[in-house]
Structure 1
């Protein structure tokens, strides 16, 4: 997800998005421990998306 798309979301929507991403990351970590993933790069993508959400939340808080 691009930062420009995230900037269009409200504060509440961003927090929901972060929770969804954290749940996805947890599930993927768990699956990765049990067996190999089809797309292990997805772990990295989700971590970066969480960081983007945090960045946008910080920007909105400072504005």
Structure 2
């Protein structure tokens, strides 16, 4: 997910996407521990997407608090 895509989403959509990515991260962690992880780059992509969503979500929350 790109930051531009996340900026266009509503806070509720961002939270839903965040939950989805956290579940995926959990599953990837299990796959890595059992040696079944094939795409190791996906772990990094998910981690960075979570960070992007958190950044955009926090910015939107600050905007709402200031308005």
**Shorter-chain TM band:** over 0.9
State the partner residue of 1:3. Answer: 3
- TM-score, normalized by length of structure 1? 0.94
State the aligned residue count: 63
Q: List structure 1 runs of 4+ shifted beyond 6 angstroms.
A: none
State the partner residue of 2:52. Answer: 52
**Whose helix fraction is larger, Structure 1's or Structure 2's?**
2
Instruction: Work out the CA distance in 2 between the residues paired with 1:13 and 1:36.
Output: 31
Q: Which has the larger radius of gyration?
A: 2
Unaligned runs of 5+ in 1: none
- TM-score, normalized by length of structure 2? 0.89
Residue 30 of structure 2 corresponds to residue 30 of structure 1: yes
Q: In the TM superposition, what is the alpha-carbon distance from 1:18 to its structure 2 partner?
A: 0.3
Unaligned runs of 5+ in 2: none
SS of 1:16 mapped into structure 2: helix
Deviations 1:6-35 (A, max 9, x none): 011100000000000000000010011011
